[in-house]
Amino acid sequence: MKITFLGTGGSLGVPMIGCSCTVCNSSDPRNRRYRPSIRLEYSDRSVLIDIAPEFRLQALDNEVRRVDAVLMTHAHADHCMGMDDLRIITDLNREQILLYATKETMARLDRIFGYLFESKMWGGKKNRITRIEIEGPFELFGLEFQPLDLWHDRDKIIGYRFGGVAYVTDASEVPDETISQMKNLDLLIINALRYKPHPKHLGYQDVLRVIDQVKPKRALLTHMSHEMDYEKLCAELPGRIAPAYDGLTIEL
């Protein structure tokens, strides 16, 4: 499996509009962050987890020409507003895209992108996107995905475990049951918005505590704001933990 980080920023991205801080002005490309999403490539398939507002740019930067499925964590703007650009993907590949989401997330997406679910492809009778509600673990192209319950302030959202990898983003709290579901990981990808505590996201120390509980072989930080400098994080984090960056690829 190949994992590509299409975006590793928070909801405002980096650089942030109107900001002149050191990170926003950094010449290090690893400090430039689109909104968060990853791409999984396995069994000749291409699967996205979330689809950020910059998906068009992410697709151009990473030569994404095919998407077979999109797995949603929730329907906040920074995680879903690239969905309109799936139209060109369906036109290129002349195939439907599978969209997996919880009932609550699907209802929100329906209100925003109902035209995508109703419109026909190529003048034919098929919709562009096939919606599938997540009710528990599911198999997708030969790989099992386990939904992981998370709290994003008062909102219940999900992450995913697939094989020895777990993807956790936008979490403010990771329940004990979810911690137990993430044992024996090769890789944990987890949000780390900033150093200070935040009411809706895990802060730096919170993330380190979760990683210590899960004990993955390796952890990569994502969903980072302009307060998180790449080189500074690399210098201070333990050896098995590192910040991710846009365009990073991992082979497992």
pLDDT average, residue stretch 100-109: 97
**What pLDDT, in 10s, does the model give residues 23-42?**
999 999 999 999 999 999 99
Residues with Cβ within 8 Å of residue 65, at least 6 apart in sequence:
59, 89, 92, 93
Residues with Cβ within 8 Å of residue 93, at least 6 apart in sequence:
65, 66
What does pTM read for this prediction? 0.95
**What pLDDT, in 10s, does the model give residues 175-222?**
999 999 999 999 999 999 999 888 888 999 999 999 999 999 999 999
Q: How confident is the model at residue 116 (pLDDT cuts 50, 70, 90)?
A: confident
Domain positions in the chain: 2-15+31-251
Residues with Cβ within 8 Å of residue 50, at least 6 apart in sequence:
36, 37, 38, 70, 71, 72, 73, 79, 80, 169
Question: Tell me: domain 2-15+31-251, CATH 3.40.50.300, correct?
Answer: no
Residue 123: its pLDDT value, please? Answer: 63
> CA 214, CA 182: separation in Å to the nearest integer?
6
